[in-house]
Protein backbone atom coordinates (compact mmCIF):
# COMPACT_ATOMS: atom_id res chain seq x y z
CA UNK A 1 0.00 0.00 0.00
CA UNK A 2 1.13 3.53 -0.75
CA UNK A 3 -0.27 7.04 -0.40
CA UNK A 4 -1.17 9.21 -3.38
CA UNK A 5 -2.08 12.89 -3.16
CA UNK A 6 -3.79 14.35 -6.21
CA UNK A 7 -4.42 17.96 -7.19
CA UNK A 8 -7.53 18.18 -9.36
CA UNK A 9 -8.17 21.44 -11.21
CA UNK A 10 -11.55 23.04 -10.62
CA UNK A 11 -12.64 22.39 -14.22
CA UNK A 12 -11.98 18.63 -13.89
CA UNK A 13 -13.66 17.92 -10.52
CA UNK A 14 -16.77 16.32 -12.05
CA UNK A 15 -14.71 14.20 -14.44
CA UNK A 16 -12.28 13.16 -11.70
CA UNK A 17 -15.13 12.10 -9.42
CA UNK A 18 -16.50 9.93 -12.24
CA UNK A 19 -13.09 8.28 -12.56
CA UNK A 20 -13.01 7.81 -8.79
CA UNK A 21 -16.30 5.93 -9.10
CA UNK A 22 -14.63 3.55 -11.55
CA UNK A 23 -11.52 3.03 -9.43
CA UNK A 24 -13.12 3.13 -6.00
CA UNK A 25 -15.24 0.93 -3.81
CA UNK A 26 -18.73 2.40 -4.01
CA UNK A 27 -20.99 5.31 -4.90
CA UNK A 28 -19.48 7.46 -2.13
CA UNK A 29 -16.36 7.75 -4.28
CA UNK A 30 -18.29 10.34 -6.33
CA UNK A 31 -17.33 12.70 -3.48
CA UNK A 32 -13.56 12.12 -3.66
CA UNK A 33 -12.82 15.61 -4.98
CA UNK A 34 -14.68 18.26 -3.04
CA UNK A 35 -14.45 22.01 -3.03
CA UNK A 36 -11.60 23.68 -4.94
CA UNK A 37 -10.10 25.29 -1.84
CA UNK A 38 -6.44 25.02 -2.86
CA UNK A 39 -4.60 27.61 -4.98
CA UNK A 40 -1.42 27.48 -7.01
CA UNK A 41 0.87 30.51 -7.41
CA UNK A 42 -1.08 31.67 -10.47
CA UNK A 43 -4.40 31.62 -8.58
CA UNK A 44 -5.80 28.46 -10.20
CA UNK A 45 -8.14 26.50 -7.92
CA UNK A 46 -7.87 22.79 -7.10
CA UNK A 47 -9.55 20.11 -5.05
CA UNK A 48 -6.98 17.89 -3.35
CA UNK A 49 -7.49 14.28 -2.31
CA UNK A 50 -5.04 12.03 -0.50
CA UNK A 51 -5.57 8.33 0.11
CA UNK A 52 -3.87 5.04 0.72
CA UNK A 53 -4.02 3.02 -2.51
CA UNK A 54 -2.69 -0.29 -3.76
CA UNK A 55 0.88 -0.46 -5.00
CA UNK A 56 -0.56 -1.07 -8.47
CA UNK A 57 -2.57 2.18 -8.49
CA UNK A 58 -0.38 3.91 -11.10
CA UNK A 59 -0.75 0.94 -13.46
CA UNK A 60 -4.49 0.64 -12.82
CA UNK A 61 -5.05 4.33 -13.56
CA UNK A 62 -3.35 3.85 -16.92
CA UNK A 63 -5.35 0.75 -17.81
CA UNK A 64 -8.77 0.35 -19.39
CA UNK A 65 -11.55 1.29 -16.99
CA UNK A 66 -14.91 -0.41 -16.66
CA UNK A 67 -18.21 1.01 -15.51
CA UNK A 68 -18.84 0.04 -11.89
CA UNK A 69 -22.08 -1.63 -10.76
CA UNK A 70 -23.20 1.68 -9.17
CA UNK A 71 -22.74 3.53 -12.47
CA UNK A 72 -20.53 6.35 -13.71
CA UNK A 73 -20.33 8.80 -16.58
CA UNK A 74 -17.75 6.85 -18.57
CA UNK A 75 -17.07 9.70 -21.02
CA UNK A 76 -16.20 12.00 -18.11
CA UNK A 77 -14.12 9.26 -16.46
CA UNK A 78 -12.14 8.79 -19.69
CA UNK A 79 -11.49 12.56 -19.89
CA UNK A 80 -10.14 12.50 -16.34
CA UNK A 81 -8.03 9.43 -17.01
CA UNK A 82 -6.43 11.08 -20.04
CA UNK A 83 -5.60 14.15 -17.92
CA UNK A 84 -3.61 12.28 -15.24
CA UNK A 85 0.06 13.14 -14.83
CA UNK A 86 2.41 11.60 -12.26
CA UNK A 87 4.63 14.03 -10.37
CA UNK A 88 5.35 17.72 -10.60
CA UNK A 89 3.48 20.85 -9.68
CA UNK A 90 -0.28 21.28 -9.87
CA UNK A 91 -1.40 22.10 -13.39
CA UNK A 92 -4.78 23.57 -14.40
CA UNK A 93 -4.98 21.14 -17.35
CA UNK A 94 -4.08 17.92 -15.49
CA UNK A 95 -4.80 15.81 -12.47
CA UNK A 96 -1.35 15.67 -10.90
CA UNK A 97 -0.58 12.71 -8.61
CA UNK A 98 2.31 12.66 -6.14
CA UNK A 99 3.22 9.43 -4.37
CA UNK A 100 4.72 9.44 -0.88
CA UNK A 101 3.88 8.71 2.72
CA UNK A 102 3.74 12.36 3.79
CA UNK A 103 0.70 14.19 2.37
CA UNK A 104 2.09 17.54 3.54
CA UNK A 105 5.27 16.96 1.53
CA UNK A 106 3.11 16.00 -1.45
CA UNK A 107 1.09 19.21 -1.11
CA UNK A 108 4.34 21.19 -0.98
CA UNK A 109 5.53 19.40 -4.15
CA UNK A 110 2.23 20.24 -5.84
CA UNK A 111 2.77 23.89 -4.93
CA UNK A 112 -0.73 24.53 -3.65
CA UNK A 113 -1.89 26.34 -0.54
CA UNK A 114 -5.15 26.05 1.34
CA UNK A 115 -7.62 28.93 1.26
CA UNK A 116 -10.87 29.11 3.17
CA UNK A 117 -13.87 27.32 1.69
CA UNK A 118 -15.57 30.63 0.93
CA UNK A 119 -12.44 32.25 -0.55
The string of pLDDT tens digits covering residues 3-29 is 999 999 999 999 999 999 999 999 999
How many domains in the chain?
1
Cβ atoms of 112 and 23 within 8 Å: the answer is no
pLDDT recorded at residue 101: 94
Residue 58 lies in a domain: yes
- pLDDT digit string, tens, across residues 37-90: 999 999 999 999 999 998 888 888 889 999 999 999 999 999 999 999 999 999
Residue 98 lies in a domain: yes
pLDDT recorded at residue 117: 57
Of residues 52 and 119, more confidently modeled: 52
Residue 119 lies in a domain: no
Q: How far apart are CA 69 and CA 2, in angstroms?
A: 26
Residue range of the domain that includes 93 = 2-114
pLDDT recorded at residue 62: 83
What are the strands of the beta sheet with 2-9, ordered from one edge? 84-86, 95-99, 2-9, 45-53, 38-39, 113-114
Amino acid sequence: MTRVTIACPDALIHDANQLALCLGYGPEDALTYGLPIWLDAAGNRYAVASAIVSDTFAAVVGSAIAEPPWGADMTAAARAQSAIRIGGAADPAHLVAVFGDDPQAAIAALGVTLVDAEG
